[in-house]
Amino acid sequence: MTPQITALRSARTTTPKSVLHMLQVRGLLWHVPLLFLSLVMLYPFIWMILSSFKTTSEIVAIPPTFFPKNFSTSGYQELINKLSILRNFFNSVFVSGIATLSATACASLAGFVFAHYQFRGKNLFFTILLTSMMLPAAVTVLPLHALFNNLRLGNTYTALILPYALSGFSIFLVRQFMQGIPAEIFEAARIDGASDWLCYRKLALPLTLGPLGGVAVFTFLTVWNQFWWPLMITNSADMRTMALAVAQSATQIAQRFDVLAAGAVLAIAPIAILFGLATRQVVEGIAFSGMKEG
Amino acid sequence: MSIQNTISQPFPVRSRIRRRTFRNAFPYIVITPMLVWCLVFVIYPVAYSVWVSLHQWIASAPAQSPFVGIQNYIDLVTTDRRFPTAFRNTLVYTLVVTPIVLVIGFGIASLMVRVSRLTRYYMFAFFLPSLVPASIIGVVFGLFYQPTFGLANFLLTRVGFAPLNFMKDPDLALWTVATVEVWQRLGFAVLILYAGLLTLPHVYTEAARMDGANRLQILRFITLPLTRRVLIFVTVVTIIAALQAFDLIYIMTTSGGTGSSPGGPGISTYTLGLLVYNEGLIRGKYGPASATATILFVIVFGATILQLRFFRQTWEY
Amino acid sequence: MFKSRRSAIVSLFMLVCAALLAVPQSQTIRAQAAPAGSLTVWCVGFDPHVNGWKKVIEGYAKKNPAAKVTLEPQGGQADMLAKYKASLAAGNGADIFTTPGWDVYEFSIAGQLLPLSPQVMTYDDAKKNLFPEYILQSQVDNQLWAMGIPDPPGDSGIIVNLDALAAAGLKKIDKFDTRQQLLDYAKKLSVLDNNKLVKAGLSFQENNGGTYLLSYIIDQGGKFWDNDKQEFNFNTPEAKNALQFFLDLYEKDKVDAIGLPNAIDGMLQGTVNMAFLWPEFMPFASGAAPDKKYGFIMKPSYNGNTPAIFGHADTWNAVIPKYTTNAPLAYDFMRYLASEEGQLLFLDANPGLSPLRSLVLGNDYYKTGKGAYLAPVIDAIRAGRLRYYGPWLDGSSIQYDIMWTTIEDVMNKRLTVDAGLSQLTKLSNEQIVQSRKRLPNAPKTTIYFDALPADLAIK
């Protein structure tokens, strides 16, 4: 709990009138619906993890079992044998990592520029960025596949990364953060002779590191889960990303629910862990942006 | 500039607009590479898609595609059997999923700000579903909603209701998928709304409570207006996603295996997004598919602009 | 040189990234500009196919050690087809890929394939050596455009769960003589609980159901396509009888229920005991549900006591795209695939009907080997019961998006049988018109209802 949030919490000053009211005030009563709902949200994951240790027949058996009756790692074994899953994992990490770095760096620069500069075509460009968030895969995949293959860039890391090197969503968010920084700071710096780049690097960037971290995590998670573009642009199994490999395991080892569950666990575990560790950063990053004010 | 001059300057306006002079090339240096990227990854695909929609596109040999003008659009609107259903389903699906996500999301976020422990666990639990690709969710919930041995009917019969045919019932299938969509989208709403509510200054709510306002009034006159920005943001993003929804529907209406006919039973779960996907990427009829995609894009774009205009007073553009 | 250590680290990092980005790229470029000696094959990520291809490639490597053939399975059928079309448009990709028959037709009309005749075999030889569907699926320019891989005819019969059969006290037979016999078996295989069906005795819930309908129309002497007008017509009494038969499974005979899973899921999960299902399901299921045993029983003809009419419209084929940079090697490999040796290797992993007549009608594989289960189908072929439906551009749209969705509408009582048949007719013909706009020079489609033409008939 950061100092900011703790400070906000302790601002509560009413005095409790009864036990129930005290529970309410102390917030304990609300745990009941929250716990229930959180379990509803988590149940499919629990099911998936448990199923990854069952055989296909047990997963679809009637009546359904909860804990595996016959503990089996057949799903994982099949997955590791059949698919080059470790290579796919590396691919996902590499592609998502580079794309995130690029997208976050660009977002911080672009957000800064949108927030504190005026230039010709500003609104038009912003509209184009908005549009990038609304394009379905069916529209983008075919022309880009043609383009990349014509440039002989098919089945390469370059092709996997470039479409995600910029994120309209991230630029949007960062712009909001940057708008929260008063312009006077930059005015003062400019008076002292600072260049634009220095304004960005020494003032804007350090002030928004927190939110940028949140944006980075968001982008990483989004790129990690991409399916259509990696499918179209990769040909060989060793270039595929994890999300793609797991999705294809569903058809390749058809109806093998144990493999699917194992693949799902492997695909989700890294990002779940990442998000679990970075939850606070992400929340705070968004909380302390300029977006909250009504 | 001397210090005297600085002090005697009028106090600068907060988001003061910098005069554009050609000395200030900085924004252009920054924006130009990004513009190139946008040209390649946004403008080119959209233009290509519109161009394709004006042809009976031959996917394997594009150069031979006959030009048909707006015939694809006319065919879609007049004779295509699935288009009216898909259009209707898209709108209804969005109009049902979005409010539910917003209301439940807001409710959960409000509860979360009132507790001091376990917030990280809750945030993790609620957001995790958003991280799972649709292909996996679809299979998990496919089994959950399986009429004979799925958990859903098991629970329903336990509490005394009759079992339902879920994905096999033409009247029920779309709403079954909608529940899964809500499950998946809730996390994003909770995340953003929670962050927004967290930093709501308590002074306002405390003052209102001291003045005797009840919970509903506080909600209506204080909390909601103050969180307008985050609410709008979540609404816009959720609507964009719901209008384009197709992958959950696809996974839940096709079996693994070879040939498939999604949107079942019959055509009751078709949405515009699914129509684009099926006609285009699966059947290779890119002409009609791109026409549908363009129509869908216009709807999404229009809806977004409309919302942003509508809430203009709080959302500078 | 660097202003600070941080700049040095950042520059180094970017250099490493650039290096990593360059490496796979150059490898790919090298592969694509490779001299004679290497081929890439794309196939659907379906175990029997993948294993079949692997065996053929191994066999070929022994014959031609100088060649390097790489197999790259491409996932599900739907995704894979999108990829092929994009590759053909872009002009690079695999040197050989496997595709269903309908796409062979379109690709050959669009001029995107290399003809296999005469390099793999002459067209006349092809007509004599191969089964008719591989010729009829595309007769563009009187060339052979594709070499088939073993694949059982989709609507020849019925898959049954052998354990359930035994439990119901029924004997495993090779073919059903009458529809009544089929229904008797189905009723005994149905399991009820409180008067509710919990296990289907005979499921018809599979996307390929349309082909069973077409076959039963011909079985009654009916026609669903007018060769002169190039139009569908399902508003016939034969069509009505056929559709009604399948609907009766739900209402009258009660051997299937809409709430039960579809045929594939149900068979794998054990909630369906018998289904109208493609024979390839058996090798498919051995991976997905290794604890279950399945058998194939040929379906009855509509009127009974003669071998049933069945079609093989859903062929699987290997084709060579025009953009390949290694045509000589591709042809050589195809010749191997077209040989008895190559086919037998594929058959070992994927027991189906080989496109080679000599194997199917003579080889031990079909008498005592893994192909023995297809004996009744082969008898029916000898009796002249094999048909080919098509080719139609967008055949998959017609089969799945039109036929199956309409059948589902009728099953769910959203349409009456007559309305359903009218819808089938109307929508299929609309699709034909739309497809024609795309490729107006597509040859006419002739369906041989009564018997195959003399030069293709099976003796």
Q: What is the pLDDT of residues A205-215, one digit of tens each?
A: 887 777 788 78
- Partners of B65 on chain C (C-beta within 8 Å) are 438
Q: Which residues contact B17 (CB under 8 A, 6 or more apart)?
A: A118
- Taking a C-beta distance cutoff of 8 angstroms, is the pair A47, A33 a contact? no
Asked if residue B28 is part of any domain, the answer here is no
Distances (CA, A) of C441 to A86, B56, C228, C428: 49, 14, 16, 19
* Residue B67 three-state SS: strand
**pLDDT score for B132:** 81
Cα B36-A179-B187 angle, rounded to 5 deg: 80
The residue type found at C155 is D
- Taking CB atoms and an 8 Å limit, are C409 and B266 in contact across chains? yes
Of all residues in chain A, what percent carry a pLDDT higher than 70?
A: 83
**pLDDT score for C45:** 81
Dist CA A105 CA A126 (whole Å): 17
Residue in B255, B281, B285 nearest the CB of C264: B255
Dist CA C430 CA C423 (whole Å): 10
Predicted confidence pLDDT, tens digits, chain B (317 residues): 343 333 433 444 444 444 433 347 788 888 889 999 999 999 999 999 999 999 999 988 888 899 999 999 999 999 899 999 999 999 999 999 999 999 999 999 988 888 877 888 898 899 888 888 777 788 788 878 888 777 888 888 888 888 888 888 888 999 999 999 999 999 889 988 888 888 777 787 788 888 887 877 777 777 787 777 778 878 888 998 899 988 889 888 886 444 578 887 889 999 999 999 889 888 889 999 999 999 999 999 899 888 877 776 544 43
Domain count along chain B = 1
- Taking a C-beta distance cutoff of 8 angstroms, is the pair C322, C114 a contact? yes
Residue in B61, B170, B267 nearest the CB of C112: B61
Q: Which residues contact C44 (CB under 8 A, 6 or more apart)?
A: B258, C73, C74, C75, C76, C77, C80, C98
Does residue C36 have a pLDDT over 70? Answer: no
Q: What is the mean pLDDT of residues A193-217?
A: 80
Cis-peptide into A270, omega within 30 deg: no
The alpha helices in chain A, defined as continuous H runs, are 3-9, 19-26, 31-51, 56-59, 74-82, 85-116, 122-132, 137-150, 157-161, 168-179, 183-191, 196-198, 205-207, 209-224, 228-233, 242-252, 257-287
**CA nearest A157: which of C40, C31, C19?**
C19
Asked if residue B35 is part of any domain, the answer here is no
Q: What is the mean pLDDT of residues C362-391?
A: 90
Question: What does the block give as tokens for B91?
Answer: 């709108």
- Taking CB atoms and an 8 Å limit, are A287 and B12 in contact across chains? no
Q: Would you list which residues of chain B are within 8 Å, Cβ to Cβ, of chain C?
A: 56-62, 64-66, 68, 71, 75, 79, 81, 146-149, 163, 165, 168-170, 255-261, 263-267, 278, 280-285, 287-288
Place of tokens 């009728």: C410
- Taking CB atoms and an 8 Å limit, are B283 and C427 in contact across chains? no
The residue type found at A97 is G
Q: Which residues contact A4 (CB under 8 A, 6 or more apart)?
A: A284, A288
* C420 shares contact with chain A (CB less than 8 Å): no
DSSP code at position B161: P
More confident residue, A26 or A226: A226
- Partners of B116 on chain A (C-beta within 8 Å) are 1, 9, 27
Element (H, E) at B166: none
Q: What is the mean pLDDT of residues C160-180?
A: 93
Asked if residue B50 is part of any domain, the answer here is no
Mean pLDDT of chain C: 88
Asked if residue B46 is part of any domain, the answer here is no
Instruction: Tell me the backbone φ, ψ of residue C92, rounded to 5 degrees.
Output: -155, 155
Dist CA C97 CA C319 (whole Å): 6
Q: What is the mean pLDDT of residues C442-449?
A: 92
Chain C residue at shortest CA distance from A246:
C75
- Taking CB atoms and an 8 Å limit, are A149 and C93 in contact across chains? yes
- Partners of B266 on chain C (C-beta within 8 Å) are 405-406, 408-409, 412, 414
Does residue A21 have a pLDDT over 70? Answer: no
Q: Which CATH superfamily is domain C37-151+315-386 in?
A: Periplasmic binding protein-like II (3.40.190.10)
CA–CA min distance B233, chain A (Å): 9
Q: Which residues contact B103 (CB under 8 A, 6 or more apart)?
A: none
**pLDDT score for C404:** 93
Asked if residue B109 is part of any domain, the answer here is yes
**pLDDT score for A252:** 56
- Partners of B281 on chain A (C-beta within 8 Å) are 137-138, 141, 228
Dist CA C437 CA A156 (whole Å): 37
- Taking CB atoms and an 8 Å limit, are A255 and C264 in contact across chains? yes
- Taking a C-beta distance cutoff of 8 angstroms, is the pair B186, B231 a contact? no
- Taking CB atoms and an 8 Å limit, are C24 and A156 in contact across chains? yes
Residue in B26, B114, B314 nearest the CB of A30: B114
Mean pLDDT of chain A: 79
**pLDDT score for B292:** 94
- Taking CB atoms and an 8 Å limit, are C91 and A150 in contact across chains? yes
- Taking CB atoms and an 8 Å limit, are B48 and A116 in contact across chains? no
Low-confidence winner among A47-51, B23-27, C40-44, C452-456 (lowest mean pLDDT) = B23-27
Q: What is the mean pLDDT of residues C102-112?
A: 92
Does residue C58 have a pLDDT over 90? Answer: yes
- Using CB atoms within 10 Å of the CB of residue C416, give its burial: 0 to 12 exposed, 13 to 18 middle, 19+ buried: exposed
* C400 shares contact with chain B (CB less than 8 Å): yes
Neighbours of C314 (CB within 10 A): 25
Cis-peptide into C391, omega within 30 deg: yes
Does residue C26 have a pLDDT over 70? Answer: no
Pairing state between β C38-43 and C96-100: parallel
**CA nearest C141: which of C448, C441, C449?**
C441
**pLDDT score for C25:** 43
- Taking CB atoms and an 8 Å limit, are A252 and C83 in contact across chains? no
- Taking a C-beta distance cutoff of 8 angstroms, is the pair A210, A284 a contact? yes
**pLDDT score for B83:** 95
- Taking CB atoms and an 8 Å limit, are C73 and A60 in contact across chains? no
- Taking a C-beta distance cutoff of 8 angstroms, is the pair C171, C297 a contact? no
Beta bridge partners of C69: C39
**CA nearest B52: which of B286, B263, B235, B301?**
B286
- Chain B neighbours among A 147-206 (CB < 8 Å)? 147, 162-163, 165-166, 179, 182-184, 187, 191, 196-197
- Partners of A39 on chain B (C-beta within 8 Å) are 125
- Using CB atoms within 10 Å of the CB of residue C134, give its burial: 0 to 12 exposed, 13 to 18 middle, 19+ buried: buried
Q: What is the ipTM of this complex?
A: 0.83
**pLDDT score for C13:** 60
- Taking CB atoms and an 8 Å limit, are A157 and C92 in contact across chains? no
- The helix, strand and coil proportions of chain B, stated in percent and rounded to the nearest 5, come to 70, 0, 30
- Partners of C78 on chain B (C-beta within 8 Å) are 260, 281-282
CB pairs under 8 A between A and B: 277
- Taking CB atoms and an 8 Å limit, are A237 and C42 in contact across chains? no
Say which CATH architecture domain C157-311+394-438 belongs to. 3-Layer(aba) Sandwich (3.40)
- Taking CB atoms and an 8 Å limit, are B75 and C396 in contact across chains? no
* C76 shares contact with chain A (CB less than 8 Å): yes
* C397 shares contact with chain A (CB less than 8 Å): no
- Taking a C-beta distance cutoff of 8 angstroms, is the pair C158, C316 a contact? no
* C14 shares contact with chain A (CB less than 8 Å): no
Place of tokens 């971290």: A213
Domain that holds residue B141: 81-314
Dist CA A148 CA C89 (whole Å): 12
Beta bridge partners of B67: B55
**pLDDT score for A96:** 93
CA–CA min distance A157, chain C (Å): 6
Q: What is the mean pLDDT of residues C336-349?
A: 94
Q: What CATH number is associated with residue B204?
A: 1.10.3720.10
- Taking CB atoms and an 8 Å limit, are C25 and A236 in contact across chains? no
pTM comes to: 0.85
- Taking CB atoms and an 8 Å limit, are B266 and C207 in contact across chains? no
Distances (CA, A) of A201 to A112, A186, A208: 10, 11, 11
**pLDDT score for A209:** 78
**pLDDT score for B14:** 42
Q: What is the mean pLDDT of residues C244-255?
A: 93
Dist CA B133 CA A139 (whole Å): 20
Q: What is the mean pLDDT of residues C124-151?
A: 93
> Which domains does chain A show, CATH number per domain?
17-73 (no CATH), 76-287 (1.10.3720.10)
- Partners of B147 on chain C (C-beta within 8 Å) are 259-261
Question: A170-180 burial string, b = 16+ CB within 10 Å, else e?
Answer: bbbbbbbbbbb
* B15 shares contact with chain A (CB less than 8 Å): yes
- Taking CB atoms and an 8 Å limit, are B259 and C208 in contact across chains? yes
* B157 shares contact with chain A (CB less than 8 Å): no
Place of tokens 């995600």: A164
- Taking CB atoms and an 8 Å limit, are C397 and B285 in contact across chains? yes
Chain B: list its partners (3+ Cβ pairs within 8 Å).
A, C
* C79 shares contact with chain B (CB less than 8 Å): yes
CA–CA min distance A194, chain C (Å): 18
- Taking a C-beta distance cutoff of 8 angstroms, is the pair A186, A199 a contact? yes
* C408 shares contact with chain B (CB less than 8 Å): yes
Interface test with C, best of A148, A252, A256, A257 (most C CBs within 10 A): A252
